[in-house]
Amino acid sequence: MGMRVELSRVELNEVTLAVQDSRTGRDPVLLVHGFPDTHDLWRHQVRALNAAGYRTIAPDLRGFGASSRPEGTEAYDPARSVADLLELLDHLDIGCVHLVGHDWGSGIAQALSLAAPARVATLSLLSVGNLGSLLAAGWEQRQASWYMQLFQMDGLAEDWLSRDDFANLREMLAEHPDREEAVERLREPGALTAALAVYRAGLSPEAMFGPLPPLPSLRGPVLGVWSTGDRFLTERSMTGTEKYVDGSWRYERVEGAGHWLQLDAPDRVSELLLDFFAEHGRPPRP
């Protein structure tokens, strides 16, 4: 219960990732954060999962936190983060995980599950559902996603977000329990551009407003969790994910929590994850 989980640096082929790894536990859980966060987003779940006997691995994705910030938008294609995470699992000699993603981390987790389905025992998506579901969610979701188009504007977005001591970014993150810590991280040289680059590399205007391409199905079991106070994502954008799951799908709604539901309703989120993992058994050993 009082376990201290250390942060270490893991050198990979392209980048060095800061990784929080509990190192002990019967079953590994890989926790993938999104914008504008780091591994610390999962601190409550790490404690709960470790207390239940699970091993937790929570990296800072490339461009975030204490991990490397390579130059160039192309370096932040989600496929590069997928490759980082698979290489990290190899480095740690971990074969199969319970995979959990939030925000952009959900998209990266889905891409990993499609690229290497044998490495994923269960897939849990928090806040952000499947891309097909997001794009099919209608005008309400388009309105909520306005900032994604702003983030495409190289230079202009950085200027607008950082203007007047990051006043506009603070407004966007008004409901983030760790807002000031996030703003301070993004003050570091190159940090804001690196954090925005995942949007520029991974979700172009053509993808947002063009015809919906054929999308592969996610292999179940998949858990989708959405919170009623999320002002960036509609419930429909999550529930529609069921259409893109081949196998077991479970949807859970968390009342009274905002977009950062891990921090707003930590006990409920941890309870849902533990129940879902227990329902679907232990990942096979490597």
* CATH label of the domain that carries residue 50: 3.40.50.1820
Compute the half-sphere exposure of residue 20: CA atoms within 13 Å on the CB side of its CA: 24
Domain of residue 93 covers 7-144+216-279
Q: What percent of the chain has pLDDT over 70?
A: 97
Omega before 221 within 30 of 0, i.e. cis = yes
- The Cα 172–Cα 252 span in angstroms is 25
Residue 241 lies in a domain: yes
Residue 153 lies in a domain: no
The answer to the question of residue 29 being in a domain is yes
How many structural domains does the chain have?
1
**What amino acid occupies position 225?**
V
In a domain, 27, yes or no: yes
Beta strand 54-59 with 120-126 is: unpaired
Residue 152 lies in a domain: no
Tell me: the pLDDT tens digits for 258-269? Answer: 999 999 999 999
Beta bridge partners of 101: 32, 125
pLDDT band at 283 (very low <50, low <70, confident <90, very high): low
Helical pair 179-186 and 191-202, crossing angle rounded to 10 deg: 100
In a domain, 110, yes or no: yes
Q: How far apart are CA 222 and CA 238, in angstroms?
A: 12
Q: Is residue 37 part of a domain?
A: yes
32 contact partners, CB below 8 Å, separation of at least 6:
59, 61, 85, 99, 100, 101, 102, 105, 106, 108, 109
Whether 128 maps to a domain, the answer reads yes
Task: Give yes or no for a cis peptide into 36 (omega within 30° of 0).
Answer: yes
Is it the case that residue 180 has pLDDT exceeding 60? yes
User: Tell me: the pLDDT tens digits for 25-41?
Assistant: 889 999 999 999 999 99
